Amino acid sequence: MAGKLDSKLLQALDVMGFTNLTPVQQRVLTDLPNWRSDCLVQAKTGTGKTIAFLLPALHCLLQGSSATPRGQVAILIITPTRELAQQIAKSCDQLTSQLSTPLRCDIAVGGTARASAFARFMREAPSVLVATPGRLKDYLSDPAAAEKMSNIQTLVLDEADTMLEAGFLADVKQILRLIPPKSTGWQGMCFSATVPPKVRDVINVVLKPGYSSISTIEKNEAPTHERVPQYHVLMSSVAETFTTLTSLIQLESRTSSKIIVFGVTANMVALFAAAFARGLTPLKVFEIHSRLSQSVRTKTTEQFKEADSGILFASDVIGRGMDFPNVDLVIQVGLPTNGEQYVHRVGRTARAGNDGRAIILLTEAESFFMKTNRHLPIKPHPQTDAITAGAASCTETVTKVMYTIEEEKKQRAYSSFIGFFAGSGLLKQLRIDKAGLVQLANEMAIKGMACPEPPPMDKKIIGKMGLKGVPGFNYASGDDLVRRPHHRTSGKPRDVLSHGGDRRGGVEKRRGGGGGRGRGGSQRV
């Protein structure tokens, strides 16, 4: 690329340690008629797509081929999650680090203080804006902010299939109506692993006829997840979750040093992290989910990326697109929402040509997942007997750790577990009714979490879960509610979430209305 790519960008690539371009980067830079051409690029996650769209867009901006007035956004990048937005912005800052005149890249995402972020955007006039759909739509509803995006040079849709399948189709279409029309000449770049029909609907608006189509996915090539060895471990009871996970990690950490563990809800993830941080593993424990502030999530993301070893307990805020180097094992505890979510999680390992393994930990009642997803190459773990024996032998250790964890944290995990299954439509497949669900959760709480009795639940919260009158609950008294401030007596309970709210996709989603976190806010995962 020497002599063709802006010299300052080349210097930055050198500083970043790039010696060769990945196939998708090479194809974009060499196959396009020019670097202002519209394009649809299909490439698997983890193959360097971010640099592939940033390099030509930044080059054109730096070479002055932009009609964008100074102080306005020239490059607008839309991506599904906060973590991906931050990852893209970091790459942009690295690529522009050698410029004599700084080029500002800003992010607009839910889960952050809207007022201060918006004020920064208006004050500092970034040339590049990376945004999630909900918050971007919110910005564009303000005339002054819309004016700052009235001379866009390049629009990038990153992870287009993920974004549109995650329920953003209406938001993206609205955004396309709020920015200048395609006839004004801005470049469209769509990056996607797959191109389902609803992605085509948006592509036809973002890309003009005759656009360039580039794919680095071979037609007969097995998807990445099919090349990852995948195993399942079955437990006889959900109460064995914590001991079996402990045994599994003890066994696997002999050969795997960087592990991601996905849990069924954010609050269950928090409980896993608390337990393992108190002596269930010698590896350093990291934790990321929507209950944490955005600043903590950002810090954790960077720390785990840089770590040589450790265990990241995570919800689906990092389930799609996120690149954590050298993860050699992904463990999923409990049922994924569907086969697609399972595959995206598996995709956090075996990236950039590295090896990896994946294991899913389920109860025998949950084993229907393998039957309904026969296309997934999940085999029984070859050391299941050793894992089961290890679970039995570490029961006392796990129980002692559970005694040290505050009851409030265990109550949140318990209630979110019930809330997930109550709203998921999975009870029929599990062959239990609502009373059976409560019994299942009580067994997990008493035998698995070492609770002396089922954690107390507020009647209003139980009603919101559609479980009014179901036997087995330990109803909270007024004193319990005073001692347990996380129980809310009005509005949607923070800690008891439905199928759609606590696990689905880990993506930003606009909730509408109001300021602050309510506008362009995120789903809680």
| Run of H or E including 380 | strand 378-380
Q: Which CATH class is domain 224-403?
A: alpha beta
Q: Tokens at residue 19, please?
A: 């010696």
Q: Which candidate, 270, 260, 266, 269, places its Cα nearest to that of 348?
A: 260
What's this model's pTM, rounded to 2 decimal places?
0.62
Report the pLDDT value the prediction gives residue 66, as an integer from 0 to 100: 54
Q: Which candidate, 25, 32, 35, places its Cα nearest to that of 63?
A: 35
| C-alpha–C-alpha distance, residues 300 and 316, integer Å | 14
Report the pLDDT value the prediction gives residue 267, as an integer from 0 to 100: 95
| CATH number, domain 7-215, options 3.40.50.300, 1.10.540.10, 3.30.70.1560, 1.20.1070.10 | 3.40.50.300
The residue ranges of every structural domain in the chain are 7-215, 224-403, 407-518
7-215 matches 224-403 in fold: yes
Q: Which candidate, 226, 228, 232, 240, places its Cα nearest to that of 371?
A: 232
| C-alpha–C-alpha distance, residues 260 and 312, integer Å | 5
Report the pLDDT value the prediction gives residue 290, as an integer from 0 to 100: 83
Spell out the per-residue pLDDT of the chain, length 525, in tens: 545 899 999 999 999 988 888 899 999 999 999 999 999 998 876 778 999 999 999 999 998 755 667 789 999 999 988 888 999 999 999 999 999 888 999 999 987 788 999 999 999 889 999 999 999 999 999 999 999 999 999 999 998 887 876 678 889 989 999 999 999 999 999 998 778 777 887 888 899 999 999 998 766 554 555 678 999 999 999 999 999 999 999 999 988 889 999 998 999 999 999 999 999 999 999 999 988 888 888 899 889 989 999 999 998 877 566 778 888 899 999 998 888 788 888 878 866 556 788 999 999 999 999 999 988 889 999 999 999 999 999 999 999 999 999 999 999 999 999 999 998 888 988 999 999 999 999 999 999 999 999 999 999 999 999 999 999 999 986 555 444 443 333 333 333 333 333 433 344 433 333 333 333 333 334
- For the chain, the residue count is 525
Report the pLDDT value the prediction gives residue 506, as an integer from 0 to 100: 41
| C-alpha–C-alpha distance, residues 44 and 24, integer Å | 9
